[in-house]
Structure 1
Amino acid sequence: MPNGTQHSISRPLSTRVLPDPGEPTPRLARPTLVVFFTALAAFGIGTWVAWADVAPTWVTITVNTVACFAMFTVVHDASHHSISRNRFVNSVLGRVSMLFVSSAISFVSFCYIHIEHHRYANEEDNDPDTFATHGAWWQLPARWALLDVAYVPFYLRRLRTRPVSEVTETMALFVSTVAGLAWAVASGNIWMVATVYFIPQRISILFLGWWFDWLPHHGLEATQRENRYRATRIRVGMEWLLTPAMFSQNYHLVHHLHPSVPFYRYIATWRRNEDQYLNRDVAIGTYYGVRLTTDEFRNRRGLPRSTDAEPRPDFHRIPVAVVENVTIDSVAITFDIPPELQENFRYFPGQHVPVQATIDGRRVRRNYSICTTDGESRMQIAVKEIPGGAFSTYANHSLRPGDILELASPTGQFGYRADSTTTQRYVAFAAGSGITPIMSVIADTLGTEQDSRFTLIYGNRTVDSTMFRAEIDSLQLRYDGRLEVVHVLSREAVVSDGALSGRIDAPKLDTWLEGALAPGTVDRWFVCGPIALVKTICDTLARYGVDSEHVNSEVFHAPANVVEAQSNEFRSASVQFRLRGSEYSAELSPGETLLDVALAQRSDTPYACMGGACGTCKAKVSSGTVSMDCNYALRRSEVDAGYVLACQAHPTSAEVRIDFDG
């Protein structure tokens, strides 16, 4: 962007916020009930077969093993209250099912132990299930088969912290189990009891430890508290077999992200949010044990690459390949991305790239939209000179090919994912250097959607000040009949080629929206330019009933004197913040922002524009209160959820806690 800042409101996905599973807890999970009663019936049949001695022993062991294995899914869902919204139903089904799964622990103690696993997944000292995922390979089968036995010392170490009723129920089950064993031995029925119950139970727990713990968690270094998207994985391939055999635990990641979703809805939840999960770099493996990156997964499934990449703050020294004048006061800069960094700088139409330089001994960071129209064959930005602008002046007058700039990976959500199977109509409004992200969006959309149409209304001062005039003309020729361009020139005395005089203002908008650009005929709108223009256009579209979800807007400059804060009274405060899994504390002085204090502790704190427009420094307020000077990046729903722009946020309480990770 020409002045280095951006505001994207078209796709409000945050890479930090947990996606909506779209699966509320059912009133009654009928598939889970089917599993329960089918397993109960199977166990009864297997027991009768043994008692009546009508089939070999292995038949009973096999049938009852499958029944015990299936019963764990009922226990599992009951422990998360996902069988029913009625807690009593979960409690009863959980207790009954647990009798078939393990005689070592009670359902209520299992609930506590299992939730500890969810809280501390992969932490050696706190996660009880690491017993099944850690250890030498030759120990693993025994560890899997004894997983519930290993729960006992884990539980006993925490016994004093547990409720009396829970401990009493657990002890009662233990006493009953010992009494049952004593009766079996005394009556000479120990082999029958072992055949019907204990042997199937051990075998089923072996498979549970293997399929529910080891397969989803082994070899992953991240813990649940560090990165919940990489503390467990999904297994892909052979879903036709693994999904029913594992009761959907091949998508165990979905369960850890959304524990209240019943097992039979894991895959539906994954499909609903697949792109959002992949954007968060989730852990993925094949059924035969090969780890996949999210890009490899997309390629295997034929999925398009995302336009919602996670902002990455790491900067790389990149040489400048070409600097060429676009107009008298703007240049296009093409970068020579080294082959080993190509993956870091993959970008999507409409994204922007953070740029750093040291100018006169001072570090300067700006954001600029990527303006190429030929896919990813090169990376180019355009910089229009702003009077007094440190970087824009340097770029227009001093930057030369071979010079080194520091670039971070592309970010941004302004773009819209084109779909080759659809035909839509798009309208874009741009002013000045606001054309830079829109050019690549137009080229990508019309190149992908063969029958879609685009109208561009482009405002400038004069013909000579029009950035990328030749490139726009070339796009018109390439997409003849599908791309219409209307130039609006504010300082041109005589205009031609269909250009209009004046500015893009409310009267012109009324004329267009009541005529050729009637909202009912347009599927999506793109708006990029100065704040005042973007606000005018968005307000006018809203007045004509256009849903804001269909408007992609971007502000290319957020002046410091534009303030939307509710309060200008600053105070000192104690600030705690979380960044990439670590906690920090600091004292904030009056006038400092939350970003100021975070940068003092961690220089890699994510930020870009410092003007409240790009959203890179978004964080969630966990406790305390703050006010923002201005906000051009967050939707109202995000603000209501507690998110702030750290670069604009000042404490209004004595203590504040924020989370850059969550």
Structure 2
Amino acid sequence: MSRFHTLTVQDVRQETRDAVSIAFAIPDELKDTFRFTQGQYLTLRREIDGEEIRRSYSICTGTLDNEIRVAVKRVPEGRFSTFANQSLAVGDTLEVMPPQGRFHTSLDPARQGHYLAVAAGSGITPILSIIATTLEVEPRSRFTLLYGNRSTAGTLFRDRLQGLKDRYLERLNLVYIFSREEQEIDLYNGRIDAGKCHALFDRWVDVKGLEAAFLCGPLEMTEQARDALKAHGLAGERIHRELFGTTLPTAGSRPRQATGVGQVDVDQARVEVMIDGRRLAFEMPRDGESILEAGNAHGAELPFSCQAGVCSTCLAKVEEGEVEMYANYALEDYEIEAGLVLSCQCRPVSDTVILNFDH
């Protein structure tokens, strides 16, 4: 799962002025490898101007669409996003890691549930996959989407969402919220923040009756939406978050989160990593680089993408010892309690640490 595969670009589609979607041709021998669950993402790798660039992008197609496609929104000074929007063409190849991510729940065709999604901007990408798949797999379930953008023209996948609305007229409720385009209903104007969430939940959503809620967008928006959902009675385990387009502090600027207790005043630690059935042991300083960086410096070829504690490409399980994380924007509390960590943010605490990337 940690290895890249060379895939050919099958289609490049202009979705908005500053966003494209990219579909890949999957050879028969890789069909099972690239079978995905709604809400998952792909990590892409490309050498640009002599430097290896990795980026993770969510899959925007449903699991039954017979296509695997990601969306790339151009961001200022974004090297990969600029390349994808300006230069990438059909027939080009990219290095692609198999689908990853846990931004989803299991589906049941017999279920009659109500789901909620709150998205902003390009945060719609995994949400689109989740909505399309859920409504098809669970024919008696409903979905409500609160989707924030600046204006109609910049709304990513608006046509695709309207197509889903036409298909699932009674089961899909779309609520567009614009910050720079006035709508007749004042509640639909502005940004999605705490006040907006409380007002919408009071009037339009039976929060306590939700099967699950999916939040995707900038950090502040997802935190405020999460807190509003909890205040309206939704249990934390039913709330799922993924971050897009947020400015994150560097690892060293946040308090450390420990999976164990007790500091050991020793400069070096012995770390062993398990990846793709292989084991590699090495020594590294307790302060300085992360376990991910140290492992790759020793030839472990550990998977990574954002290196900011967001995407979870570098996810591992602590089999032995104690580590601490500087930043975590991807794991829930129960996952940390189960020993899962983001290796790009981990430093060793105990004398010996064993991390399992094949967990």
Same fold judged by TM-score > 0.5? Answer: yes
Quote the offset at 1:374 in angstroms: 7.0
| Whole-angstrom distance in 1 between the partners of 2:342 and 2:172 | 37
Residues 1:630 and 2:342 are matched in the alignment = no
Alpha carbons of 1:532 and 1:636: their partners in 2 closer, same or farther (altered >3 Å)? same
Is the 1:529–1:556 contact (alpha carbons within 8 Å) kept by the matching residues of 2? yes
Matches within 5 A, 1:333-344: 333-344=22-33
The answer as to whether partners of 1:564 and 1:631 remain within 8 angstroms in 2 is no
Which has the larger Rg? Answer: 1
Map residues 589-608 of structure 1 onto 2, 5 A cutoff.
Answer: 590-608=287-305
Does residue 488 (structure 1) correspond to residue 177 (structure 2)? The answer is yes
Q: What is the aligned counterpart of 1:565 among 255, 268, 278?
A: 255
- Secondary structure of the structure 2 residue equivalent to 1:343: coil
Q: Name the residue aligned to 1:614.
A: 311
Query: Which residue of 2 is the match for residue 658 of structure 1?
Result: 354
SS at match of 2:90: coil
**Paired letter, 2:353:** R
Q: Is contact 2:110-2:140 (8 Å) kept? A: no
Task: Quote how far apart the aligned CAs of 1:464 are.
Answer: 0.9
Which residues in structure 2 correspond to 1:500-519 (within 5 Å)?
A: 500-519=188-207
State the 1:380 CA deviation.
0.7
Q: Does 2:284 match 1:587? A: yes
Counterpart residue type for residue 310 of structure 2: A
Distance in 2 (alpha carbons) for counterparts of 1:532 and 1:338: 40
Q: In structure 1, what is the Cα distance between the partners aligned to 2:114 and 2:346? A: 39
* Aligned match of 2:270: 575
After superposition, give the CA deviation of every residue in 1:269-298 in whole Å (9 maximum; x if it has no partner): xxxxxxxxxxxxxxxxxxxxxxxxxxxxxx
Q: Describe the shift of the 1:317–1:497 C-alpha distance in structure 2 as closer, same or farther (beyond 3 A).
A: farther
Query: Which residue matches 2:215?
Result: 527
Secondary structure in structure 2 of the residue aligned to 1:456: strand
- Whole-angstrom CA distance in 2 between matches of 1:600 and 1:445: 42
Q: How does 1:378-457 map to 2 (within 5 A)?
A: 378-457=67-146
Mapped to 1, the partners of 2:127 and 2:169 lie a distance apart of 18
CA contact (8 A) 2:118 2:146 kept: yes
Aligned partners of 2:269, 2:326: CA distance in 1, in Å?
19
- Structure 2, unmatched stretches of 5+, are 258-264
Structure 1 residues 640, 427: closer, same or farther in 2, change over 3 A?
Answer: closer
Shift of 1:557: 4.4
Displacement of 1:465: 0.8
Whichever residue aligns with residue 516 of structure 1, its letter is W
Listed as ranges, the matches of 1:133-148 within 5 Å are: none
- The offset of 1:376, in angstroms, is 4.1
Equivalent residue of 1:313, what SS? coil
Q: Contact (CA 8 Å) 1:628, 1:645: kept in 2 or not?
A: yes
Q: Is the Cα–Cα contact under 8 Å of residues 286 and 349 in structure 2 kept in the other structure?
A: no
1:184-216 CA distance string (max 9 Å, x none): xxxxxxxxxxxxxxxxxxxxxxxxxxxxxxxxx
Cα drift, residue 628 of structure 1: 1.6
CA distance in 2, matches of 1:431, 1:558: 11
Q: Distance in 1 between matches of 2:138 and 2:223?
A: 29
Structure 1 residues 518, 385: CA separation in 2 closer, same or farther (over 3 Å shift)?
A: same
Pair 638,424 (structure 1): closer, same or farther in 2 beyond 3 Å: closer
The answer to whether the 8 A contact 1:565-1:627 is kept is no
The 8 Å contact of residues 286 and 348 in structure 2, kept in 1 or not, is answered as no
Q: Is the 8 A contact 1:564 1:628 kept in 2?
A: no
- 1:346 corresponds in structure 2 to 35
Aligned partner of 1:231 in structure 2 is: none
The superposition leaves residues 512-569 of structure 1 with CA deviations (integer Å, 9 ceiling, x where unpaired) of 22222132232221111111111111122122221111112211246442654338xx
3-state DSSP of counterpart to 2:123? helix
CA contact (8 A) 2:108 2:138 kept: yes
Query: How far does residue 394 in structure 1 lie from its aligned partner after superposition?
Result: 1.0
Q: Percent identity?
A: 38
- Hey, what does 2:260 align to over in structure 1? none
Separation in 1, partners of 2:221, 2:349: 32
Q: Distance in 2 between matches of 1:335 and 1:499?
A: 40
Q: C-alpha distance in 2, partners of 1:480/1:422?
A: 19
Aligned residues: 348
- CA gap of 1:506–1:497, structure 2 versus 1, over 3 A, is closer
Distance 2:327 2:93 in 1: 33
Q: What is aligned with 2:262?
A: none
Q: Does the 8 Å CA contact 1:565/1:629 hold for their aligned counterparts?
A: yes
User: Normalized against structure 2, the TM-score is what?
Assistant: 0.89
The structural deviation recorded for 1:488 is: 0.4
**Normalized per residue, which structure has more strand?**
2
Give the Cα–Cα distance (whole angstroms) in 1 for the partners of residues 166 and 266 of structure 2. 58
User: RMSD across aligned C-alpha pairs, in angstroms?
Assistant: 2.4
Structure having the larger proportion of residues in helix: 1
Q: Which of residues 318, 324, 341 in structure 1 aligns to 2:13?
A: 324
Give the CA deviation at 1:347: 1.2
Code of the aligned partner of 2:355:
D
Q: Counterparts of 1:468 and 1:370 in 2: how far apart (Å)? A: 13
Task: Answer whether contact 1:528 1:554 (CA < 8 A) is retained.
Answer: yes
Q: Alignment partner for residue 538 of structure 1, among 213, 226, 231?
A: 226
State the partner residue of 1:357.
Answer: 46
Partner of 1:81: none
1:342–1:610 distance in 2 versus 1, CA, 3 Å:
same
Residue type of the alignment partner of 2:168: Y
Task: Return closer, same or farther for 1:411/1:438 CA change in 2, 3 Å cut-off.
Answer: same
Against the structure 1 CA distance between its residues 344 and 498, is the aligned structure 2 distance closer, same or farther, given a 3 Å change threshold?
farther
Are the equivalent residues in 1 in contact too, given 2:115–2:211 (CA < 8 A)? Answer: yes
In 2 relative to 1, CA 400–633 (structure 1 residues): closer, same or farther, beyond 3 Å?
A: same
Deviation at 1:578, TM superposition (A): 2.7
| Paired residue type of 1:531 | L
> Offset at 1:656?
3.9
Q: Residue 598 of structure 1: CA displacement?
A: 0.9
What secondary structure sits across from 2:33 in the alignment?
helix
Write the distance in 2 (CA, Å) between the matches of 1:520 and 1:500.
22
Q: How far is 1:573 from its partner?
A: 2.5
Amino acid at match of 1:385: R
